[in-house]
Structure 1
Amino acid sequence: MSPDIDPILRDWEFLPDDVTVRSITTEAGEERIQLRLELGILQMYVDGRPDGKRIHDCESWLEYHQKQQLAHDQQNPDSARYLLQPEDCAELLREGVQYYHRYLSFWHLGRYELCARDTTRNLQLFAFVRNHAKHDRDKLQFDQWRPYVTMMHARAVATPLADLEEWEAAIHVIDSGIRGLEEFLVDYGQEEHADRLSELQFLRRWRKDLLSKSGEESDEDESGDPVDQIRQQLEQAIAEERYEEAAELRDQLRQLQDPRPPHLP
Structure 2
Amino acid sequence: MPKRIQHLDRYLSDWPFVPGQVMVREVKGSDKRPLLQLRVDMGIVQMEVVGRPDGEKPEGFDTYYDNLLSQSFADGPAFQLDRERCREIDREFYQYYHRRVCWLTLNRYAEAVRDAEHTLALMDFSTANSPDPQWSLMHEQYRPFVMFHKIQALTLIQLEKSNHRGAVEAIDQGIASMQKLFEAHAAEDVSDEDTLLEKLQDMKASIAKHYDVGPSLAEQLAQAIASEQYELAAKLRDRMDGSPKN
Name the TM-score class by shorter chain: 0.7 to 0.9
* Residue 185 (structure 1) aligns with: 182
* Residue 259 (structure 1) aligns with: none
* Residue 55 (structure 1) aligns with: 58
In 2, the alpha carbon distance for the partners of 1:45 and 1:17 equals: 24
* Residue 98 (structure 1) aligns with: 95
Task: Please list every run of 5 or more consecutive structure 2 residues that lacks an aligned counterpart in the other structure.
Answer: 221-246
Secondary structure of the residue aligned to 2:152 is helix
| CA shift for structure 1 position 217 | 4.6
In 2, the alpha carbon distance for the partners of 1:191 and 1:168 equals: 34
Q: Structure 1's 198 and 162: CA in aligned 2 closer, same or farther, altered over 3 A?
A: same
1:12-57 residue CA offsets vs partner (Å, 9 max, x unmatched): 0101111001000123111110000111000000111101111011
1:20 aligns with 2:1: no
1:139 aligns with 2:142: no
| CA shift for structure 1 position 68 | 1.4
Aligned residues: 215
Secondary structure of the residue aligned to 1:41 is strand
1:10 aligns with 2:8: no
* Residue 241 (structure 2) aligns with: none
Aligned to 2:32, which of 29, 32, 56?
29
1:211 aligns with 2:214: no
| CA shift for structure 1 position 194 | 9.0
1:199 aligns with 2:196: yes
1:184-243 residue CA offsets vs partner (Å, 9 max, x unmatched): 2123125997984322221122122223333315859xxxxxxxxxxxxxxxxxxxxxxx
In 1, the alpha carbon distance for the partners of 2:205 and 2:187 equals: 23
1:230-264 residue CA offsets vs partner (Å, 9 max, x unmatched): xxxxxxxxxxxxxxxxxxxxxxxxxxxxxxxxxxx
Secondary structure of the residue aligned to 1:214 is coil
1:153 aligns with 2:156: no
In 2, the alpha carbon distance for the partners of 1:7 and 1:48 equals: 29
In 1, the alpha carbon distance for the partners of 2:131 and 2:190 equals: 28
Q: Structure 1's 29 and 102: CA in aligned 2 closer, same or farther, altered over 3 A?
A: same
1:157-202 residue CA offsets vs partner (Å, 9 max, x unmatched): 2113123331221122212221221122123125997984322221
* Residue 109 (structure 1) aligns with: 106
| CA shift for structure 1 position 82 | 3.6
Q: What one-letter code is carried by the residue in structure 2 that aligns with 1:216?
A: G
CA contact (8 A) 2:48 2:55 kept: yes
Q: Structure 1's 5 and 191: CA in aligned 2 closer, same or farther, altered over 3 A?
A: closer
Q: Which moved more, 1:38-47 or 1:128-137?
A: 128-137
* Residue 80 (structure 2) aligns with: 83
The sequence identity of aligned pairs, in percent, is 28
CA contact (8 A) 2:116 2:149 kept: yes
Secondary structure of the residue aligned to 2:66 is helix
In 2, the alpha carbon distance for the partners of 1:179 and 1:194 equals: 18
Q: Which moved more, 1:118-127 or 1:155-164?
A: 155-164
In 2, the alpha carbon distance for the partners of 1:192 and 1:11 equals: 44
* Residue 245 (structure 1) aligns with: none
Secondary structure of the residue aligned to 1:197 is helix
Question: Per chain length, whose mean CA-contact separation is higher, i.e. which structure has more relative contact order (CA < 8 Å, sep 6+)?
Answer: 1
Q: What one-letter code is carried by the residue in structure 1 that aligns with 2:130?
A: A
Q: Structure 1's 184 and 83: CA in aligned 2 closer, same or farther, altered over 3 A?
A: farther
| CA shift for structure 1 position 70 | 1.8
